[in-house]
């Protein structure tokens, strides 16, 4: 099943099992969303459950907060990464803080779905990775699946969470297929997972970069190097224990994400792992990601985005210490 379809199935299951779950966003109804992630849901659940909204992101998130206060569990779609900013105020000043301000009396089970990341040749504002901006804010949980099975289960868990969850969907992996077992018992939403075992170096990534890191590990294996790949899955919180265990074994860490490296989530991981694993490390933690520049026009995105060679280069640099 494709990743986009897995999210669709997961939303369907949530709509079926809990009458309080609502889908809201621009074009989520008849059209099924610009990526068809909500395809067919309005037809089956009606305009009252799958709500086409006015084109106003602050309005979408602000009213979702009100609906959550009334006992609903809205799942909101932001059409593209670069369009979340009109809603950023509501997310940061209201959604993230209301539980604390009410001393725990108010819960805001709101999921905000954001298709994010590049590699699809889009125009500007359609390829960004703003996850660090959200992970920096206490009160929000930030996750990103890398495959269809995770996409399915992490969406179930995000909707069931009483905390607001920002759910970043790797749009360039929407069409990647994988087995989805709808009967499985999933691990915790915030647990990282070792997706490939190795002994020489750990690659840590999430969302769209996990697949790349697996390809890197394949390529490195041909050169006789054994890389371990950790899929972080969650960006807030980060499952440092799993990363630590891996790094204590391999003694080297390279973090890979599409977002700009500067003050990105890789910086946090590098700092924490350095603190936790100082005496185990054979090399400084290295990061591979975007540059401190606006996301470039499509004809340049291959230069901007981490690719096989850039990650392999970082692997070489780490191993050279």
Partner 1 sequence: MTESTAARKPRRSAGSKAAGTTGGKAGTTGAKRTRTTRKTGAAAAKGSETELVQLLTPEGERIETAGDSAYAEYAQYVADITPDELRGLYRDMVLTRRFDAEATALQRQGELGLWASLLGQEAAQIGSGRATRDDDYVFPTYREHGVAWCRGVDPTNLLGMFRGVNNGGWDPNSNNFHLYTIVIGSQALHATGYAMGVAKDGADSGVIAYFGDGASSQGDVSEAFNFAAVYNAPVVFFCQNNQWAISESNEKQTRVPLYQRAQGFGFPGVRVDGNDVLASLAVTRWALDRARRGEGPALIEAYTYRMGAHTTSDDPSRYRHDDERAAWEAKDPILRLRRFLESANHADEGFFAELEAESEALGKRVREVVRAMPDPDRFAIFENVYADGHALVDEERARFAAYQASFAEAEGV
Question: Which single residue is written with the structure tokens 């040749």?
Answer: 121
If the CB atoms of residues 73 and 172 are measured against partner 1, the closer one turns out to be 73
The DSSP code sequence of 127-151 is S---HHHHHTSTT-EEE---SHHHH
Q: Does the protein bind partner 1 through residue 97 (CB under 8 A)? A: yes
126 catalytic? Reply is yes
Rounded to an integer, what distance in angstroms lies between the CA atom of residue 87 and that of residue 177?
31
Candidates 228, 263, 262; CA nearest to 243 is 228
Provide the pairing of β-strand 253-260 with 201-205.
parallel
If the CB atoms of residues 118 and 139 are measured against partner 1, the closer one turns out to be 139
* Residues in region 57-96 near partner 1 by CB under 8 A: 58-59, 61-72, 86, 89-90, 93-94
Contact 61, 40 (CB under 8 A): no
* Residues in region 216-255 near partner 1 by CB under 8 A: 236-240
Q: Does the protein bind partner 1 through residue 27 (CB under 8 A)? A: no
Instruction: For CA atoms 176, 109, 20, 65, give the dihedral sign.
Output: negative
* Residues in region 39-58 near partner 1 by CB under 8 A: 48, 53-54, 56, 58
If the CB atoms of residues 62 and 186 are measured against partner 1, the closer one turns out to be 62
Binding letters toward partner 1, positions 161-180, x by CB under 8 A: xxx-----------------
Candidates 30, 38, 32; CA nearest to 10 is 38
Euclidean distance between the first and the last CA atom of the chain, given in angstroms as a whole number: 42
| Site size for partner 1 (CB under 8 A) | 46
Q: How far is the CB of 98 from partner 1 (least distance, A)?
A: 7
Q: Residues interacting with partner 1, by CB under 8 A?
A: 48, 53-54, 56, 58-59, 61-72, 86, 89-90, 93-94, 97-107, 138-139, 141, 161-163, 190, 236-240
């Amino acid at each position: 099943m494709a990743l986009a379809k897995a999210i669709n199935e997961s939303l369907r299951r949530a709509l079926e099992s809990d009458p309080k779950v609502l889908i809201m966003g621009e074009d989520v109804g008849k059209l099924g969303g610009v990526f068809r992630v909500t395809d067919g849901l309005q037809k089956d659940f009606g305009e009252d459950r799958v709500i086409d909204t006015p084109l106003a992101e602050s309005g979408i998130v602000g009213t979702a907060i009100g609906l959550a206060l009334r006992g609903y569990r809205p799942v909101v779609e932001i059409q593209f990464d670069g369009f979340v900013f009109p809603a950023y105020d509501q997310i940061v000043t209201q959604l993230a803080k209301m539980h604390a301000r009410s001393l725990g009396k108010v819960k805001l089970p709101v999921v905000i779905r954001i298709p994010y990341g590049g590699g699809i040749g889009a125009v500007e504002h359609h390829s960004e990775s703003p996850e660090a901006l959200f992970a920096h804010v206490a009160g929000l949980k930030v996750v990103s699946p890398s495959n269809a099975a995770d996409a399915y289960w992490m969406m179930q868990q995000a909707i069931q969470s009483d905390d607001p969850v920002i759910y970043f969907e790797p749009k360039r992996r929407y069409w990647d297929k994988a087995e989805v077992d709808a009967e499985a018992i999933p691990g915790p939403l915030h647990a990282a997972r070792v997706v490939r075992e190795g002994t020489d170096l750990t690659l840590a990534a999430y969302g769209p970069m996990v697949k790349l890191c697996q390809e890197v590990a394949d390529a490195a294996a041909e050169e006789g190097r054994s890389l371990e790949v950790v899929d972080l899955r969650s960006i807030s919180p980060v499952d440092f224990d799993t990363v630590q265990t891996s790094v204590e074994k391999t003694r080297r860490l390279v973090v890979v994400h599409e977002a700009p490296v500067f003050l990105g989530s890789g910086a946090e991981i590098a700092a924490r792992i350095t603190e936790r694993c100082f005496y185990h490390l054979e090399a400084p933690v290295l990061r591979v990601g975007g540059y401190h520049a606006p996301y470039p026009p499509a004809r340049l995105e291959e230069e901007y985005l981490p690719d096989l060679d850039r990650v392999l280069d970082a692997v070489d640099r780490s191993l050279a210490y």
